[in-house]
Structure 1
Amino acid sequence: MNSPIRILIHGATGRMGQALLRLASGRDDLQVVAAVSRGKPAQRVIDRLPYFALSELHGVPAFDVAIDFSLPAGLDAVLALCVERGVPLVSGTTGLAASQQLALDAAASRIPVLLAANFSLGVTVLGDLVERAATVLRAWDCDIVESHHKHKLDAPSGTALALGVRAEQGGAQPRYASLRAGDIVGEHTVQFTGPGERIELVHRATSRDVFAHGALHAAVWLAGREPGRYRLRDML
């Protein structure tokens, strides 16, 4: 039997971090070796898993892949550590600055990097459908409406912007609307409107587990690959 892939989870105390920890614990092919959060952890060890503050990142044990679901301010440090140790990075952090995107491009010459705004299979397929519709319906209006929980900071969401890129690749000029309310996990509607008719392409997530499952699957897929900038649809 092959040894499990050792995972570092950055953003471990957030909603996605907690889902990743819970789901990874039920897999034989993965072993979480470190959990990292922005501030000093209240407990150093929980269920035999060591916790580290972001400022203590260089003290984490050896790992094979890092999974990052944090805030833009935390990405630079974990990216630098992955480059230093020569290990892949899977990131679902959105709202990145242009300079951080360039840093990811530079890192991809040395390590495998997979950045995705959304790790669900359904949203990946939705992107293909959006580009196809935009290619055919060039004269129609294109609107992207996204809804998330009231604590989400970036708007439009990273997923909405990624869907907008696919629409632009098909020739559309998307407009965006955002709603922050309650505990909505994530809903995205891409609407194409023409004279007398309308098409709506909709994805609704009812559990963060779909994103966590996708990120863990991506970590397994990325381990051992050649350096480069990868997309979720490359994996599929």
Structure 2
Amino acid sequence: MRIGIAGISGRMGQMLVEEVATAGAALVGGTRYSTPAESLVPLFPNVAALAEASDVVIDFTRAGLAEAHAEVLIAAGTPWILGTSGLSAQEEAAVAQAARWIPVVYASNFSPGVTLVLALAEQMAAALPAEQYDAEIVEMHHRQKVDAPSGTAIGIGRAVAAGRRVDLSDVMQSGRDGHTGARPTGAIGFAALRGGQIVGEHSLLFAGADEQIVLTHRAFDRRTFATGAVRAAHWVRDRAPGLYSMKHVLGLG
């Protein structure tokens, strides 16, 4: 399998290079924002050229590029592993449109542990009535992270909303400040903390009048995301066009 990496010079890109080698796949090369004087891996001028040379492209770049990447990957017919967080509704629509033509694995988090947390979050939300259990999501990341709440936190919120058969956009409360009034019944709350070099911590709390249940995931190394993305790359090859998640990769979807 020939794997291309969009954003190969970033921290995640470098880990992906190592994981591709560990998995026994062939690294075609990658793209980066600026071309260095020397590089140990082949660099392509753009994602379109990378897609033409690859069996699958892994993309951990940045929000704002998803629509352009969707267009060129559709044109090349190349499967897409997308782990970029902070996508807008318009960009997510572009990803969904791409999935009509190519197989796309889009995940807010490629960790197997987080994938299981998402599955459990939906089951717990279905079992714990919104009228009796308030749902709150607390996440903390390194100080350089630019989006909040994190993509993983949003994913957990969507899982809770799915379990309760509501749309997250209708019940989401994020960044409370000032005199906000009482907490609405059925709301799904978010709190985003930033500091240091924390890889990622996410906790889902169901708070009832007589008990509290907390589901927590802590990542200690970004490598778990890279390992999961390469696993998804192997899984997606020869799949039919469609929008997939890590639940499908792990056999849970």
User: Within the alignment, does 1:82 sit opposite 2:73 as a pair?
Assistant: yes
CA distance in 1, matches of 2:18, 2:39: 15
User: Within the alignment, does 1:182 sit opposite 2:174 as a pair?
Assistant: no
Instruction: Give the TM-score of the pair, scaled to structure 2.
Output: 0.85
Deviation at 1:81, TM superposition (A): 2.0
Aligned pairs for 1:62-141 within 5 A: 62-138=53-129, 139-141=132-134
User: Within the alignment, does 1:52 sit opposite 2:44 as a pair?
Assistant: yes
CA distance in 2, matches of 1:122, 1:222: 20
RMSD: 1.4
CA distance in 1, matches of 2:125, 2:241: 32
1:224 is aligned to 238
Larger fraction in strand: 1
- Pair 220,175 (structure 1): closer, same or farther in 2 beyond 3 Å: same
Deviation at 1:158, TM superposition (A): 0.5
Deviation at 1:44, TM superposition (A): 5.0
Q: Secondary structure at the match of 2:44?
A: strand
Verify the 8 A CA contact 2:140 2:192 in the aligned structure 1: yes
Q: Secondary structure at the match of 2:43?
A: strand
CA distance in 2, matches of 1:57, 1:193: 46
Verify the 8 A CA contact 1:142 1:174 in the aligned structure 2: yes
Which of the residues 157, 168, 171 maps onto 2:150? 157
Q: Secondary structure at the match of 1:20?
A: helix
CA distance in 1, matches of 2:237, 2:94: 20
Deviation at 1:77, TM superposition (A): 2.9
CA distance in 1, matches of 2:49, 2:244: 28
CA distance in 2, matches of 1:192, 1:103: 33
- Pair 167,58 (structure 1): closer, same or farther in 2 beyond 3 Å: closer
CA distance in 1, matches of 2:34, 2:49: 13
Q: Deviations over 1:41-82 (max 9, x none)?
A: 213531xx21235xx334436110000001012223332221
Verify the 8 A CA contact 1:167 1:173 in the aligned structure 2: no
Deviation at 1:135, TM superposition (A): 1.5
**Quick one: which amino acid aligns to residue 43 of structure 2?**
Y
Q: Deviations over 1:151-186 (max 9, x none)?
A: 111100000001001111222531000011111001
Structure 1's unaligned 5+ residue stretches are none
Structure 1 segments of 4+ aligned residues over 6 angstroms from their partners: none
Verify the 8 A CA contact 1:44 1:52 in the aligned structure 2: no
Structure 2's unaligned 5+ residue stretches are 165-185
Verify the 8 A CA contact 1:143 1:175 in the aligned structure 2: yes
CA distance in 2, matches of 1:84, 1:167: 36
CA distance in 2, matches of 1:6, 1:133: 40
- Pair 105,72 (structure 1): closer, same or farther in 2 beyond 3 Å: same
Verify the 8 A CA contact 2:66 2:94 in the aligned structure 1: no
**Quick one: which amino acid aligns to residue 104 of structure 1?**
V
Verify the 8 A CA contact 2:134 2:206 in the aligned structure 1: yes
CA distance in 1, matches of 2:122, 2:158: 9
Deviation at 1:17, TM superposition (A): 1.0
Q: Secondary structure at the match of 1:79?
A: helix
User: Within the alignment, does 1:10 sit opposite 2:3 as a pair?
Assistant: no
Verify the 8 A CA contact 2:139 2:202 in the aligned structure 1: yes
Verify the 8 A CA contact 2:3 2:56 in the aligned structure 1: yes
CA distance in 1, matches of 2:49, 2:79: 18
CA distance in 1, matches of 2:239, 2:6: 21
Aligned-residue sequence identity (percent) comes to 40
**Quick one: which amino acid aligns to residue 148 of structure 2?**
A
Deviation at 1:20, TM superposition (A): 0.5
1:20 is aligned to 16
Matched residue pairs, number?
Answer: 226
User: Within the alignment, does 1:147 sit opposite 2:143 as a pair?
Assistant: no
